[in-house]
Amino acid sequence: MTTIVLASASPRRAELLRQIGLSFRVCPADIDETPGSGESALHYVERLAREKALAAKLAEPGAIVIGSDTSVVLAGRILGKPRNRQHAMGMLRELSGATHQVMTAVAIASVNDCEARVAVTDVRFRPLSGEEIAAYVATGEPMDKAGGYGIQGRGGIFVEELRGSYSAVVGLPLQETAELLAAAGCPVWQTWNRSQESNNE
């Protein structure tokens, strides 16, 4: 059976893969995440997902490697992770009462190939008060997340509407991930019986 490797330090991505019953190893990839000058957000997330998958593939040449990147995009501008609490507050003030896109790319590097997909999800925030933003930032939740919020956490109360993939906003588009794994010769559902044998409670 082929080894599957998640090239990510994100606990959310690992949790999403566990949710679909996949067995995998984690091997985070440390790459330069600076956007190119004039690079579109769509190109940026896909490039980073590919670079993460290919970097981890060097350490695990025989494996199927999953790389991913998530960016929050407001009017074409990439909002990455906040540098500090002030920066997080500024991002949340900008997202308040507006619709942004969450772009998440997944790339799968197999034997001689690296295929990628990008999921684009529209997320609308209700207007947020200054006090609410300050209280949210004080929880620390925004600090390791693109756009400075986590839809799966306290940040869930800001979201008025979502059009697209919820799992992609959390960090990995599950439908596209399964599609690429199947194309790489590893359909997720075929692993379910095996994992059930060991995980049945």
Ligand X SMILES: Cc1cn([C@H]2C[C@H](O)[C@@H](COP(=O)(O)OP(=O)(O)OP(=O)(O)O)O2)c(=O)[nH]c1=O
- Which residues are marked as active site? 69
Q: Which residue is nearest to ligand X (CB)?
A: 8
Site pattern 43..82 for ligand X (x: CB under 6 A) = ---------x---------------xxx-x--------x-
Stretch touching ligand X by CB under 6 A, among 18-26, 128-136, 140-148, 175-183: 140-148
28 binds ligand X (CB under 6 A): yes
176 to 95, 150, 187: CA distances (angstroms) = 27, 21, 12
Residues 6 or more apart from 57 whose CB is under 8 A from it?
5, 7, 63, 65, 109, 114
Q: How far is the CB of 196 from ligand X (least distance, A)?
A: 28
Q: How far apart are CA 44 and CA 3, in angstroms?
A: 27
**Strand 64-74 to strand 4-6: parallel, antiparallel, or no bridges (unpaired)?**
parallel
Q: How far is the CB of 121 from ligand X (least distance, A)?
A: 9
Please report, in angstroms and rounded to a whole number, the separation of the first and last CA atoms in the chain.
Answer: 24
171 binds ligand X (CB under 6 A): yes
102 binds ligand X (CB under 6 A): yes
Helix ranges (H only) for the chain are 11-19, 41-59, 85-95, 130-138, 166-170, 174-183, 192-199
9 binds ligand X (CB under 6 A): yes
Binding site for ligand X (CB under 6 A): 8-10, 12-13, 28, 52, 68-70, 72, 81, 102, 145-147, 149-152, 169-171
